[in-house]
A and B are shown apart, each in its own frame.
Chain A
Amino acid sequence: MYAQLVKTDSTHVRGLDEMSDEERAFQERIDRGEKIEPKEWMPEGYRKTLIRQIGQHAHSEIVGQLPEGNWITRAPTLERKAILLAKVQDEAGHGLYLYCAAETLGVSRDELMELLHAGKMKYSSIFNYPTLTWADMGAVGWLVDGAAIMNQVPLQRTSYGPYSRAMIRICKEESFHQRQGYDIMMKMARGTPAQKHMAQDALNRFWYPALMMFGPSDKDSVHSAQSMAWKIKMNTNDELRQKFVDQTVPQAEHLGLTVPDENLRWNEEKGGYDFSEPDWSEFFEVIAGNGPCNRERLGARVKAWEDGAWFRDGLKAHADKAARRPAMAVAAE
Chain B
Amino acid sequence: MSSEWPLWEIFIRGQHGLNHRHVGSLHAPDAELAIKNARDVYTRRNEGVSIWAVRSSDIVASSPGDKGPLFEPANSKVYRHPTFYDIPNDVGHM
Contact = CB atoms under 8 A, between A and B. Distances in A.
A179 B87 CA distance: 7
Given A34-B16, A35-B17, A86 B79 contact: yes
A183 interface: yes
A149 to B, nearest CB: 9
Contacts of B94: 146, 175, 178-179, 182, 251
A90 B79 CA distance: 12
A161 interface: yes
B91 A250 contact: yes
B92 interface: yes
Interface string A276-316: 00000000000000000000000000000000000000000
A319 to B, nearest CB: 13
B16 A176 contact: no
Closest 6 A-B residue pairs measured CB to CB?
A35-B17, A179-B85, A175-B82, A176-B82, A183-B85, A251-B91
B79 A35 contact: no
Q: Do most interface residues of chain A lie in helix, strand or loop, or is the interface mixed?
A: helix
Interface string A32-56: 0011010000000000000000000
A164 B17 CA distance: 8
Given A82-B77, A86-B77, A254 B82 contact: no
Interface in A57-92: 79, 82-83, 86, 90
Contacts of A247: 92
28 contacts: A34-B16, A34-B17, A35-B16, A79-B79, A86-B77, A86-B79, A86-B80, A146-B94, A161-B16, A165-B17, A165-B19, A176-B81, A176-B85, A178-B94, A179-B82, A179-B84, A179-B87, A179-B94, A180-B79, A180-B85, A182-B87, A182-B91, A182-B94, A247-B92, A251-B92, A251-B94, A254-B88, A254-B91
Interface in A107-147: 146
A79 B92 CA distance: 25
Contacts of B91: 182, 250-251, 254
Size category, A interface: 20 to 34
Given A34-B16, A254-B88, A254-B91, 12 more contacts: A35-B16, A37-B50, A146-B94, A176-B80, A178-B94, A179-B84, A179-B85, A179-B87, A247-B92, A251-B91, A251-B92, A254-B90
B79 A182 contact: no
Contact of B79 (A37, A83, A178, A254): A83
Nearest to B84: A176
A91 to B, nearest CB: 13
Contacts of B87: 179, 182-183
A272 to B, nearest CB: 14
Interface in A84-109: 86, 90
Contacts of A146: 94
A249 to B, nearest CB: 10
A35 B91 CA distance: 35
A173 B79 CA distance: 11
Contacts of B79: 79, 82-83, 86, 176, 180
B12 to A, nearest CB: 13
B54 to A, nearest CB: 15
